[in-house]
Amino acid sequence: MDDTGKRAIGLVRTGAAWRHGHPVAEQTLIGEHLAYLSRLARDGDVIQAGPVLGLTDRPGEDGLVGMILYGVGPRRARQLAEKDPAVSAGLVRCEVWPWYPEALEL
C-alpha cells in the first residue's frame, strides 16, 4: 500500500496500564505522551491531537480518550504510534485508520 499523499487518524483508547477512576492528568506517562506528540507536530507528522472525553471527563465506554490527525499516511502513522511512550508502556492503544479528507469536496 502506497502512503503517498494520504493522511491517517489515530483513535487513542485506554490500555492495560490505564488507572481507571483517575483523571487523565494523573495517568503516568501523559507528560511524555504530550511531549512526543508536540515533537511530531513540530516535524509536521501530526496536524492536530487532543482528548475526546465524555461529559464526566472520563473515557468513553469503549475506552476512547483521544484522537490524533496525522500528516502522514497510515503506514508511517502506525510506526509513529508504536514509538509513543504511552503506547509502548501500555497506558493507551492507538488504532490507526486511513483518512480521506478529499472524499468530500465542498
Going from the N-terminus, what domains does the chain have, and what CATH number goes with each?
7-44+57-100 (3.30.70.1060)
Q: Is 104:31 a contact under the CB 8 Å cutoff?
A: no
Residues whose CB is less than 8 angstroms from the CB of residue 39 and which lie 6 or more positions away in sequence, other chains included: none
Which pLDDT score, from 0 to 100, does residue 4 have?
58
DSSP string, 37-51: HHHHHHHTSEEEEEE
Cell of 58: 472520563
Which pLDDT score, from 0 to 100, does residue 40 have?
98
* 74-98 burial code (b ≥16 CB/10 A, e <16): bebbbebbeebebbeeebbbbebee
Q: What is the largest CA-CA distance in the chain?
A: 43
What is the model's pTM?
0.88
Place of cell 487523565: 24
Nearest to 94 by CA among 69, 58, 60: 69
Which pLDDT score, from 0 to 100, does residue 3 have?
65
pLDDT along the chain (106 residues), means of 10: 76 95 88 96 96 78 93 96 97 95 66
Which pLDDT score, from 0 to 100, does residue 55 have?
64
